[in-house]
Structure 1
């Protein structure tokens, strides 16, 4: 009998856990649960008997993979998977998957919410602005950005995008695709960032791009802090007192930004883009179903460490 371990420092919502359990039980597998663990030793002990592992933002490094002697698959219930050592997992012949798209609406709604918070002056009581009629620039066009596009249209915004990999998709939906990232930033009132923290995207939001921002622009980052060149961002905001930066993940330079630009930056207390009951359930159930598909049919559709 296959053993599936759910190891989550931040547990799934009860309704999500109930549905995940149902998927695992119907497949005839044994479900083990490790929630709110305090030490790495607890995780290492629990994973030692697992054939499959479902995690959220939990760190799955070499130690965990070595401890999981029977481990065949790890599924990150969510889109980002930088918390899993995918290269070492491949060395160990462990398949790593994510669940793309399952939390995209939740993150998209937060991005629009942050844009509203920014344009209304952080709800400080002073006169603000409206999103209708303004231009939204999407930096990337994956699952989340597509949902941001859908919501922004309902607000009456003009939407354009810079993407290297989804040009056909964006064009087919009537979006203007800019020729460069600089052009996107130069022509957008609100820029919403939706690229992964890897490869060419690392620190891609640098001074070379930021200097093109139009007056009064708002940057919303619900992606990862690593896509921002933080030194450049701080220097830029010192010079451009008209720009605001809002994110659901505090940068490493958060203390300086809050001290120097208190009225122009905002960070949620923790990363909350996917923190809704609906997204929690969707991602957890998808993770369980992908494990069943992998063991039953060898399905590796969402494998990220090929």
Structure 2
């Protein structure tokens, strides 16, 4: 079987080496398409691939239809909105992600950004501390649980809400279970977003939602850009000079947000999984899942129907 690693932004060399070892140990062939600059290159590379590993690369209907031999595509990471799931199903392709592999990296980034923020972006002026602050975690999956773990180390009061995670599971992790998303925003000084971009969540973080936050509230987004209703958040930040918005996903309206100097920060590009460890973990996990699929038909991490 031919396994294509198609990455516009390549894996670290150690990750590629680990993927290669996993793939070849199972008797499969590895092909690399790195730093490609045109979709035509991807369309050509997938023609004879039986499996594909991607990062943030878009696998749409055109790519899937060009990949006549493709049986499985694995996104090395938790989010998978860059794969057209309906088109994958229509082309009899299994789509998978690698949940949990980047979780610690994202959680650590959350606190790197938070410390930077509460210390006034290190501008020399007195800031505040995270200890005893209330942090709300919206979605208690792999990343959310790691955020809770780190928050406890800072001595924070940790809350979480997840529509799909029972309150007793959240409480068992030593975290206060909010009864609703609204309660989370009303209660917490800081709200950290870890929700996926779905029809239900897209633009759900809006004026009314965020306006419930206490004075001096900080909204931090290391999830997906699409969950933010940008025009409404801009309107709110203009009205409430006490609020801050911090993200590792540059908004479409970045220039408008930049007007809120001292209350807005975005990294130049998505940074959540940008660690050597996460890079290697996710890549090797993807290779192992492909090997398991070809060996035993395992689809444990399948995300399409």
Q: TM-score range by the shorter chain?
A: over 0.9
Query: Counterpart of 2:4 in 1: which secondary structure?
Result: strand
Give the deviation of 1:18 after TM superposition.
0.7
Query: For the residues of structure 2 that align with 1:301 and 1:157, how far apart are their CA atoms?
Result: 35
Partner residue in 2 for 1:77: 76
Give the deviation of 1:169 after TM superposition.
2.2
Unaligned runs of 5+ in 2: none
Relative to the length of structure 2, the TM-score reads 0.98
Partner residue in 2 for 1:273: 272
Give the deviation of 1:174 after TM superposition.
2.3
Matches within 5 A, 1:1-306: 2-167=1-166, 168-258=168-258, 260-306=259-305
Query: Counterpart of 1:266 in 2: which secondary structure?
Result: strand
CA deviation string 1:30-60 (max 9, x = no partner): 1111111111111111100100000000011
Equivalent residues of 1:50, 1:71 under 8 A apart: yes
In the comparison of the two structures, how many residue pairs are matched?
Answer: 304
Equivalent residues of 1:115, 1:190 under 8 A apart: no
CA deviation string 1:244-284 (max 9, x = no partner): 100000111111110x2021100000001001000000000
Query: Counterpart of 1:63 in 2: which secondary structure?
Result: helix
Query: For the residues of structure 2 that align with 1:199 and 1:142, how far apart are their CA atoms?
Result: 19
Query: For the residues of structure 2 that align with 1:122 and 1:182, how far apart are their CA atoms?
Result: 29
CA deviation string 1:202-259 (max 9, x = no partner): 111112211211001111100011111111100100111011100000111111110x
Give the deviation of 1:112 after TM superposition.
1.1
CA deviation string 1:49-90 (max 9, x = no partner): 100000000011111111100000000000011111111010
Query: Counterpart of 2:245 in 1: which secondary structure?
Result: strand
Query: For the residues of structure 2 that align with 1:95 and 1:257, how far apart are their CA atoms?
Result: 39
Of 105-114 and 181-190, more deviation after overlay is shown by 181-190
Unaligned runs of 5+ in 1: none
